[in-house]
Copies of this chain bind each other. A is one copy, B any other.
Amino acid sequence: MSGVMFQENCVINYYECDTTGHLSAPMLLNILLNVSGSQCTELGVGEDFTHQLGVAWVVIQYEIHFDRIPQVNEEITIQTTPLSYNKYFSYRNFEGFDLAGNRLFTVASSFVLMDLHARKMVPIKEEIVAPFGILKENKMVRMTKPEKLTELVTEKKFQVRYLDIDANQHVNNSKYLDWALDVLDFDFLNSHDMIYCNVKYDKEVEYGQIVESKVSSVVNEEGTIKTIHQIKNGEHTACELTIEWKQK
C-alpha cells in the first residue's frame, strides 16, 4: 500500500538547463528533493522536526526513466508518493508530467536517516514516517544496482568546491552527477538525450578532497548507448552510476 501523494508545480529556469535548453539531470535531483521536502514540511515532519530529533534524510539511490526531458521555461508537475519503509530504508516514487498530462519521467528512490552528529545511518524513527501513511515491511525493496565499471575508457579529476556543499552541510547529491557527466564528450552530450539514470551513493566526499570520475561505455543492441560511471575518492567508491542515452 502506497502512502499519501503530494504534488507541486515548477517552472524550469534557464540556469537549470544545459546548453541544449533541456533540464540538466543534476538539477532534476535538486528539484525532486525540494518536492519531497515540501511534502515532509506539509505533513509536519519537515527539516525543523527531523533536526530537533538530531537526524536528517539522506538519499542513497535514484533510478530515473525519462520519457521526455523538460525544456527551459516549461511548467511541469511533480508528484511524489512514499511507498514503504523497513528498519533502515524508506522508499519513495516521483513522477513528472507536462501541463498536457504527458509523463516526462518516473523516479524510484531510497532514503536513510542520518544522525547529524555521528554522521552515521540510524534506524528510521516511526514518528517521522507515521504521517506518510506507509507500512513498515521487514524485507528490503531490491532496487537495480548500477553496473560495475570493468573497463576504463577515460577519467577526469575534480576537487570538491566550497559551493558543492549545500545547506544540508554535505556535498550536494547533484554534484556527483555533474562529475559523472563532465567526463563525457561535449559533442556526445549535445547530441544525445538521457533516457535512464541509476545513481547510487556509497560514501560521502568532503570539502577539498579530489575525486576521480571514471567511465566506460557500451553500445546496446537497440542502438542506445550505455555509460558506466564510478566516482572514486582514493581507495573508496563514492558513487556509481549507469546511464543510458539515445541519439537526439
A174 within 8 Å of B by Cβ? yes
A235 within 8 Å of B by Cβ? no
A154 within 8 Å of B by Cβ? no
A128 within 8 Å of B by Cβ? no
A19 within 8 Å of B by Cβ? yes
The reply to whether B15 and A166 contact each other, CB–CB distance below 8 Å, is yes
- Select one of B18, B72, B166, B168 contacting A165, CB under 8 A: B18
- Select one of B72, B163, B182, B189 contacting A18, CB under 8 A: B163
Which A159-195 residues have C-beta < 8 A from chain B? 161-163, 165-169, 172, 174, 178, 181-182, 184, 186, 189
- Select one of B19, B20, B162, B184 contacting A182, CB under 8 A: B162
The reply to whether A162 and B189 contact each other, CB–CB distance below 8 Å, is yes
The reply to whether B189 and A14 contact each other, CB–CB distance below 8 Å, is no
Which A46-80 residues have C-beta < 8 A from chain B? 72
Which A129-182 residues have C-beta < 8 A from chain B? 161-163, 165-169, 172, 174, 178, 181-182
A34 within 8 Å of B by Cβ? yes
Q: Which residues of chain B are within 8 angstroms of A166 by Cβ–Cβ distance?
A: 14-15, 17-19
Q: Which residues of chain B are within 8 angstroms of A37 by Cβ–Cβ distance?
A: 14
The reply to whether A181 and B168 contact each other, CB–CB distance below 8 Å, is no
The reply to whether B167 and A19 contact each other, CB–CB distance below 8 Å, is yes
Q: Which residues of chain B are within 8 angstroms of A172 by Cβ–Cβ distance?
A: 15
Across the interface, name the chain B residue whose C-beta is closest to A184.
Answer: B162
- Select one of B17, B24, B162, B186 contacting A181, CB under 8 A: B162
24 contacts between A and B (CB under 8 A): A13-B34, A14-B34, A14-B37, A15-B30, A15-B33, A15-B34, A15-B166, A15-B174, A18-B162, A18-B166, A19-B162, A19-B165, A19-B167, A20-B167, A21-B167, A26-B163, A72-B167, A161-B178, A162-B186, A162-B189, A163-B181, A163-B182, A186-B207, A186-B208
Q: Told that A18-B165, A72-B167 touch, could you supply 13 new A-B pairs with CB distance under 8 A?
A: A14-B34, A15-B33, A15-B172, A15-B174, A18-B162, A18-B167, A19-B162, A19-B165, A19-B167, A19-B169, A162-B186, A163-B182, A186-B207
